[in-house]
Structure 1
Amino acid sequence: MLSLLKRVFTSFGPPVAEKQGDPIRFGVLGAADIASVTTFWSLIAALTPPLALITPAKSHPEVIVQAVAARDRIRAEAFAKKHGIPDVKDTYQDVLDDPNIDAIFIPLPNSLHYEWAVRSIRAGKHVLVEKPAVDNEAEAKLLFNLPELSRPDAPVLLEAFHNRFHPAVQKFLTFINPADVVHVHTDSMVPSWFTSKDDIEFNFKLGGGSMMALGTYNFAMLRMVFVDEPEECLTCSTNVYADGIHDQCDYDFKAQFRFPNGGIGEATTTLRGPLWWKPSEARVTHREVVVPDKTLPASQEKVQTRQVTLHGFMHAVLWHRIDVKDSYLIRNKADSRPVKAWTETSSHKAYTYRDSGGKFASAPGEDWWMSYRYQLEEFVNRVKGSETQYWVSGEDSTKQMRMIDMAYGQSGLGLRPTSSFV
């Protein structure tokens, strides 16, 4: 318990690193005010810049949050004062026009991601844009194929899929053989008392919907487990506020996808969950495979069925657990009659890449690093031209939006609207 408290306390209040060399100077577009929080999603909007950038930047020796702008300058000034940001700009464009700013963080509503990511790239800035990076695949194809991104001195563009950078997710994947996966169940939720239908997550024009808010995490986990893209969205059922205003935005959904190996991936999310918050979960079931065993007579065979579950795939620094359950059976080959059956289980955690034991075992990190801190480390590495251990490419982000479009198309709610920005 003491180690957990220490880890979480340090995560939210990390040691301040002395800035070195030529640090990357960030500008932030948007300054949600924690004082005006009334619902869960306004809380998320208020916490996103601090958790996703400002807090991890404190412990990174090569990052400075230099400037912020908001629609309301007074709010931006209060935000800057609270978080020790030196410069306040009148407009988002003023941040982009500042030659001292190297990179832009975009935590705006989903519908504004595309426009301001494009504007930032055209201003020659590196971009860290909150997920989902855009509202649909059409926007993704335009954004991630901008001519500016193919130049030798191209800016770095990253969709901020922070949880994918955490060692827990990477260790989880080491227990999985994608070719043998037959079924994956993923779920995520927030309690109903945390949400209101007046939240931006239920505003269709702003790119709202539970698939965009939480479901996109589920979809990404499915794609990572199968190491492939879904061929088809088989089903997608949703529930909406049927009031004629919010009825294009799902407050929950359940979708099933078929993947090329024949496996089924299931994603379910609700923004109106029960009273207690249930950690996100990804549960992977493998097909039965024959395990070589030279101790057995030629007439018998040993088979294994594996199930791997990651509890807490979204915010693993707070708590997570990886459960591995291997069910074994020895049977006669002739008639499949069972001879012996047993189960072996184990549980694992990985707060650092040293714990992961995988291909990233030598990567830096501390047990108190949030997934956002791991993400920032890689973003800086890419900007500085250093080796990155893990990355979410533009092609990956485009395929992610294709999967979201599949689900919305199957649901009957329709794709999220494309930006009018040219």
Structure 2
Amino acid sequence: MSVSQLLRIWWAFDPPKIEKSKDALKFGILGAANSAGMTLTIPAKMHPEVVLYAVAARDRKRADEFAKKNDIPVVMDTYQELLDDPNVDVILVPLPNALHFEWAVKAIKAGKHVLLEKPSVSNAREAEVLFNLPELDQPNAPVLLEAFHYRFHPIWSIFRSLITPADVVHVDTYSMIPWWMVTKDHIHFKHHLAGGTMMGMGTYNFAALRLIFDDEPVECFSVDTKAFTEGVHHDCDYEFKAKFRFPNGGIGEAYSTLQGPTFWHPSYATVTHKKVEAPDASLPPSQQKFVTREVTINGWCHAIFWHRVDVKESFEIRDRTDGKLIKKWTEKQSQKAYKPRDATGEISKLDGEDHWMSFRYQLEQFVNRIKGRPTQYWIEREDSIKQMRMLDMAYEKSGLGLRPTSKYIAHVN
């Protein structure tokens, strides 16, 4: 690893402090979850319009420790107290999955903007209610965003520009967490908290498939799982492999595990296109040129550490009359992108820095949307509903069943 790489990662996690603007948004955090660090507390240090103002947790001691660690001035005893504070502009909801729906709804109804950890809720029924709340369609409505951070990183702009969705025949996606990072007692493996690997890392894979095909799956062929069976862990998958069919006939596969090998393996997605004609004016009329493209994005979940897009194009020249092969060869290229200019070639006011993680890019667009400024990329509310429908499709096919619906849904008009 080079010195520049080490410095990039160092600054990503320990960035220099910057001056905050007078009209900075004040964020309140529900709970003292570790995930809040990556999603907000670290990238907030790099954003002049974001101030960490308050935190509330069920355990006051834990909240105090979290506040001290992250220089948060206000600690509250209850989530509702935080929602009732007029000084709070934005709410981060990094709670266990089963609590997302209730507290996102309450925050929206309190007039707060909401950054909601993925998966947004526990199932599609909850998603349809949450993302269609009438408050979200009012003038000056709160902004609600499902925090699919990796989708905001510049490398995805490059990756998607190299894909022709209609020609995709197969996609293979992979993600993992080593076994020693997620114990059996983790919230990921508690059914009443809407746990399971498909809800955890797997939702990244599912979103990647939807982005690559630029469409929704029409069928789930199969879902093979390894799951816990006893106690609060029942029906919680810790590993799965799922196969979907998309409208163009292409097949998308997703594999993820939260009990993976000791050594971490970077995520990847490999996209195979069908063989298509590649017009070439330099060829004689009797010959025809074809190309089959394979595009792989490596390290897409957390691109700050390492990532790369690899393109392999297999060319053929054949006789137009009898199809006889005349010549074949393969061309390869690779590309990285840490800033939007790496993807577009243009420098703009919306550009970032080499040490910005995907979470920082996400925060940039979230604040821009709240401030009424243009966004380079955005996840619409309907997209989050479709994402949960795909998760439901997989859980139904697996036999493990949908994740339980919040009882609070009965209180939502």
Q: Same fold (TM over 0.5)?
A: yes
Range that drifts further, 195-204 or 60-69: 195-204
SS for the counterpart of 1:84 is: coil
| 2:353 aligned residue | 366
AA at the equivalent of 1:169: W
Q: Is the 8 A contact 2:8 2:354 kept in 1?
A: yes
- Please identify runs of 4+ aligned residues in structure 1 that moved more than 4 A: 358-362
Contact 1:354 1:362 in 2 (8 A): no
Amino acid at match of 2:3: L
Q: Distance in 2 between matches of 1:110 and 1:289?
A: 43
Q: Secondary structure in 2 aligned to 1:339?
A: strand
**1:50-199 alignment runs, 5 A limit:** 50-199=37-186
Matched, 1:250 2:250: no
- Change in CA separation of 1:167 and 1:360 when aligned onto 2, cut-off 3 Å: farther
Is 1:340 matched with 2:327? Answer: yes
Quote how far apart the aligned CAs of 1:171 are: 1.1
- Partner of 2:37, secondary structure, is helix
Q: Match of 1:35?
A: none
1:45-95 Cα distance to aligned partner (Å, 9 max, x none):
x2x112110111111111101000100111111111111001001101010
Specify the SS of the correspondent of 2:311: strand
What is the aligned-residue RMSD (CA, Å)?
A: 1.3
Determine whether 1:6 maps to 2:20.
no
- From 253, 270, 275, give the equivalent of 2:257: 270
2:22 & 2:368 partners in 1: Cα distance?
Answer: 14
1:236–1:255 Cα contact (<8 Å) kept? yes
Q: State the alpha-carbon separation in 2 of the partners of residues 56 and 156 from structure 1.
A: 19
Q: Which deviations, in whole Å up to 9, do the C-alpha atoms of 1:86-125 show, x marking residues without a partner?
A: 1001101010000000000010000000000000001000
Query: Counterpart of 1:24 in structure 2: which amino acid?
Result: L
TM-aligned CA deviation for residue 274 of structure 1? 1.7
Tell me if 1:219 matches 2:220. no
C-alpha distance 168-89 of structure 1, shift in aligned 2 (>3 A): same
TM-score, normalised with respect to structure 1: 0.95
1:315-330 counterparts in 2 under 5 A? 315-330=302-317
- 1:268-315 deviation per Cα after TM superposition (whole angstroms, max 9, x unaligned): 101121221110000000000101112222221000000000001100
Give CA-to-partner distance per residue, 1:248-275, whole Å, 9 cap, x none.
Answer: 1111111111111111111010112122
Q: Aligned partners of 1:60 and 1:363: how far apart in 2? A: 13
> How far apart are 1:22 and its partner, in Å?
0.8
Contact 1:360 1:389 (8 Å CA) reproduced: no
Residues 353, 362 of structure 1: 8 Å contact kept? no
Would you say the 8 A contact 1:120–1:127 is kept in 2? yes
Determine the structure 2 residue equivalent to 1:38.
none
CA shift, 1:244, in A, is: 5.3
What amino acid sits opposite 2:236 in the alignment?
C
TM-score by length of 2: 0.97
User: Structure 2 CA distance, aligned partners of 1:313 and 1:119?
Assistant: 33
8 Å CA contact 1:17–1:58 kept in 2: the answer is yes
Distance (Å, rounded) in 2 between the aligned partners of 1:72 and 1:337: 73
Measured in 2, the distance between the counterparts of 1:245 and 1:369 equals: 38
2:344 match: 357
| Secondary structure class of the residue paired with 2:297 | strand
Look up the equivalent residue of 1:259 and give its one-letter code. F
- Residue 227 of structure 1 aligns with an amino acid whose one-letter code is D
Aligned 8 A contact 2:190 2:234 in 1: no
What is the CA-CA distance between 1:23 and the residue it aligns to?
0.7
Q: Which residue of 2 aligns with 1:377?
A: 364
308, 322, 327: which is aligned to 2:295?
308
Distance 1:340 1:174 in 2: 28
1:388 CA displacement = 0.8
Distance in 2, matches of 1:70 and 1:101, equals: 16
Query: In 2, distance between residues paired with 1:285 and 1:201?
Result: 32
Select which of 374, 381, 388 maps to 1:401.
Answer: 388
Q: What secondary structure does 1:213 align onto?
A: coil
Query: What percent of counterpart residues are identical?
Result: 59
Amino acid at match of 1:224: L
* Stretch of structure 1 that moved more, 7-16 or 187-196: 187-196
Q: Aligned-pair distance for 1:415?
A: 0.5
Length, aligned pairs only: 408
2:55/2:75 contact within 8 Å kept? yes
Alignment-mate amino acid for residue 7 of structure 2 = K
Residue ranges of structure 2 left out of the alignment (5+ in a row): none
What stretches of structure 1 of length at least 5 have no aligned partner?
A: 33-45
Structure 1 counterpart of 2:16: 15
SS for the counterpart of 1:196 is: coil
